[in-house]
Amino acid sequence: MSKALLFAWVGLLLLLAGSVLITALVPGPAYIGLNIGFAVLMAALIFTVFMKLRSADGLLRLFAVGALMWLGFFLLFSLADFLTR
């Protein structure tokens, strides 16, 4: 049994618990940024360990990063107006 997979799973559950606790305990809008940050960390753990991007070859990583980059452009251009008002 892979230790990396188990550590990733434990990390994911800790991040989940942290997110729920933040929602309950942290007042004001600061918790929104923390929750989004925790979600990004969880996604990064799944991408790198469960989806094996950590050990993937360069071309596959390029495809994965490309997909995230286009999504990033999409989010940035869609939200730029609303976030800068």
Partner 1 sequence: MPTMNTMTSAPAEQFDDLDQQLRADVMGMWVFLATEMLLFGSLLTGFVIFRIQHAAVFADAASHLGLKLGSINTAILLTSGLTVALSEQAVSSGRRRSAFSLLLISIVLGVTFLCIKFYEWYIEYTEELMPVLGLPFRFKGEHDHVAELFFNFYYMMTGLHAVHMIAGLGVLMVILMQIARWSEPGRVTRQARIGGLYWHFVDVIWVFIFTLLYLLRS
CB atoms < 10 A from the CB of 32, how many?
A: 12
Task: Name the one residue in this structure whose structure tokens are 């729920």.
Answer: 20
CB of 38 to partner 1, least distance (A): 7
Site map for partner 1, 13-52, x if CB under 8 A?
Answer: x--x--xx-xx---x---xx--xx-xx--xx--xx-xxx-
Q: Residue 46 corresponds to which tokens in the numbers above?
A: 């799944």
Is residue 80 a contact point for partner 1 (CB under 8 A)?
A: no
- The enclosing H or E element of 85 equals none
Binding residue for partner 1 (CB under 8 A) from 2, 30, 55, 58? 2
Is residue 59 a contact point for partner 1 (CB under 8 A)?
A: yes
CB of 59 to partner 1, least distance (A): 7
Asked whether the beta carbons of 31 and 22 are under 8 A apart, the reply is yes
Is residue 57 a contact point for partner 1 (CB under 8 A)?
A: yes
C-alpha span between 9 and 28 (Å, rounded):
30
